[in-house]
């Protein structure tokens, strides 16, 4: 889950990339471990306090296998948005 430092963010957002083929990432905290991922969420938050809380919340949500499956099965950007919006409690 790449993310920007808050001082570089003008408006809070989450970018989502659903990849056609998995990309290899190194695990944070254990760079010797490579992970093949097909879904990348990139939060951009405006304050350090917001970043800490929202990153933890997002990581917690992504522990839910049902949510991960729904995101992986979303066929359009609108479907991805709707799954995330419901999970995050957004309007």
The pLDDT assigned to 83 comes to 92
Band (31; pLDDT cuts 50, 70, 90): very high
What band does 72 get if pLDDT is binned at 50, 70 and 90?
confident
Measure the CA–CA gap between 12 and 36, rounded to whole angstroms: 27
Q: How far apart are CA 14 and CA 65, in angstroms?
A: 20
Residue range 6-88 in CATH 3.40.50.1100: no
Domain boundaries, the chain: 6-88
Residue 42: is its pLDDT beyond 60? yes
C-alpha–C-alpha distance, residues 10 and 5, integer Å: 11
**What is the predicted pLDDT for the residue at 13?**
83
Model's pTM, two decimal places?
Answer: 0.70
């Amino acid at each position: 889950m790449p993310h920007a430092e808050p001082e570089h963010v003008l408006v809070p957002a989450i970018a989502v990339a659903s990849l056609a083929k998995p990309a290899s990432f190194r695990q944070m905290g254990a760079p010797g471990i490579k992970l093949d991922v097909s879904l990348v969420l990139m939060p951009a938050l405006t304050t350090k306090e917001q970043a800490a809380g929202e990153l933890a919340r997002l990581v917690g949500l992504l522990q839910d296998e049902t949510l991960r499956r729904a995101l992986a099965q979303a066929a359009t950007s609108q479907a991805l948005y709707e799954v995330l919006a419901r999970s995050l409690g957004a309007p």
